């Protein structure tokens, strides 16, 4: 349901965008991180029934649990209220993300944007250097990006992917800034 509403909305807003750009916009809105952000913004974690183990390890704040719960709520609303009601819910929760994604440009997917920038400037393929710390249920990942012989960026996240995206964003800005100084 979420994917259908977001895809239709993006197509209506951007009818002239190529399919690849529309797909990037959709991916920026319909992903686990975005779902978790929406769920956290509305305080959904407080209302989730958890087992003792998840309760003890901070499950109410865990992105994967909050993300899955947002999907479940949208599905439940769709089953109980139909397409019109679930569409209203999706718009209420996700229109701000759709608008933000439309304004982001390069920031839709920092890893892809960094790879494109690196290729454009013949810098080589970005490689991510990841470290982690903490117990298995509460790991924190830190990422840096090696482009050519240079290390860029510093990203921290609860998952490798989140840390890599944050590092790619920082690296993208650092490479752009360095080019502005030398260019």
Which of 4, 7, 1, 161 has the alpha carbon at shortest distance from 98? Answer: 7
Range 36-50 average pLDDT = 94
Provide the mean pLDDT of the chain: 90
Is pLDDT at 181 greater than 80 in this prediction? no
pLDDT for position 163: 93
**Topology of the domain comprising 110-181:** Double Stranded RNA Binding Domain (3.30.160)
pLDDT for position 104: 65
Q: Give me the DSSP letters along 25-59.
A: HHHHHSSHHHHHHHHHHTTGGGG----HHHHHTTG
Looking at the chain, the whole-number percentage of residues with pLDDT higher than 70 is 96
Is pLDDT at 148 greater than 60 in this prediction? yes
User: Partners of 48 in the beta sheet?
Assistant: none
Range 37-66 average pLDDT = 92
Range 84-95 average pLDDT = 96
Domain ranges of the chain: 1-107, 110-181
Judge: domain 1-107, CATH 1.10.1520.10. yes
Q: Give the pair of three-digit tokens for residue 17.
A: 């965008």
Is pLDDT at 107 greater than 80 in this prediction? no
pLDDT for position 39: 96
pLDDT interval class at 171 (50, 70, 90): very high
User: Partners of 143 in the beta sheet?
Assistant: 130, 155
The total of other beta-carbon atoms located within 10 Å of residue 64's CB is 13
pLDDT interval class at 101 (50, 70, 90): confident
Range 156-174 average pLDDT = 91
Residues in the chain: 183
Is pLDDT at 19 greater than 90 in this prediction? no
pTM, full prediction: 0.64
Is pLDDT at 58 greater than 80 in this prediction? yes
**Where is 147: in which H helix or E strand?**
strand 140-147
Which of 118, 119, 107 has the alpha carbon at shortest distance from 152? Answer: 118
pLDDT for position 75: 96
Is pLDDT at 18 greater than 90 in this prediction? no
């Amino acid at each position: 349901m979420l994917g259908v509403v977001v895809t239709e909305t993006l197509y209506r807003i951007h009818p002239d965008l190529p399919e690849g750009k529309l797909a990037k916009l959709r991916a920026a809105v319909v992903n686990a991180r975005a779902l978790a952000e929406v769920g956290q913004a509305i305080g959904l974690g407080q209302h989730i029934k958890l087992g003792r183990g998840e309760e003890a390890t901070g499950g109410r704040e865990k992105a994967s649990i909050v993300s899955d719960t947002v999907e479940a709520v949208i599905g439940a609303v769709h089953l109980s209220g139909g397409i019109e009601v679930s569409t209203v819910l999706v718009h209420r929760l996700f229109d701000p993300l759709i608008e933000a994604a439309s304004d982001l440009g390069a920031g839709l997917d920092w890893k892809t944007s960094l790879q494109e920038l690196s290729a454009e400037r013949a810098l080589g393929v970005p490689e991510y250097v990841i470290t982690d710390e903490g117990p298995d249920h509460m790991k924190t990942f830190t990422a840096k990006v090696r482009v050519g012989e240079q290390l860029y960026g510093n990203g921290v996240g609860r998952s490798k992917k989140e840390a890599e995206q944050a590092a790619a964003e920082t690296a993208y800005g650092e490479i752009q800034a360095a080019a502005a100084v030398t260019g």
